Chain A
Amino acid sequence: AQKVTQAQTEISVVEKEDVTLDCVYETRDTTYYLFWYKQPPSGELVFLIRRNSFDEQNEISGRYSWNFQKSTSSFNFTITASQVVDSAVYFCALRIGGSARQLTFGSGTQLTVLP
Chain B
Amino acid sequence: EPEVTQTPSHQVTQMGQEVILRCVPISNHLYFYWYRQILGQKVEFLVSFYNNEISEKSEIFDDQFSVERPDGSNFTLKIRSTKLEDSAMYFCASSTGTGYQETQYFGPGTRLLVL
User: Considering the complex, which residues of chain B in the window 92-115 have a beta carbon less than 8 Å from any beta carbon of chain A?
Assistant: 93, 95, 100, 102-109, 111
Is A105 an interface residue when CB atoms closer than 8 A count as contact?
yes
A50 touches B103 (CB 8 A): yes
Range of interface residues on B (Cβ < 8 Å) = 20 to 34
Given contacts A101-B31, A105-B42, contact A35 B95 (CB under 8 A): no
Against A, the Cβ 8 Å flags (1 = close, 0 = not) of B45-64 are 10010000001101000000
Q: Give the docked Cα–Cα distance between A103 and B48 (Å).
A: 10
Given contacts A43-B109, A44-B107, A47-B103, contact A101 B43 (CB under 8 A): no
Range of interface residues on A (Cβ < 8 Å) = 20 to 34
Task: List the A side residues contacting B107 at CB < 8 Å.
Answer: 44
Q: Give the docked Cα–Cα distance between A100 and B95 (Å).
A: 13
A102 touches B45 (CB 8 A): yes
B56 touches A107 (CB 8 A): no
- Residues of chain A touching chain B, judged by Cβ–Cβ distance below 8 Å, are 31, 33, 35, 37, 42-47, 50, 52, 91, 93, 97, 99-108
- Residues of chain B touching chain A, judged by Cβ–Cβ distance below 8 Å, are 31, 33, 35, 41-45, 48, 55-56, 58, 89, 91, 93, 95, 100, 102-109, 111
8 CB < 8 A contacts A-B? A43-B111, A44-B109, A47-B106, A93-B43, A101-B102, A102-B58, A105-B44, A108-B42
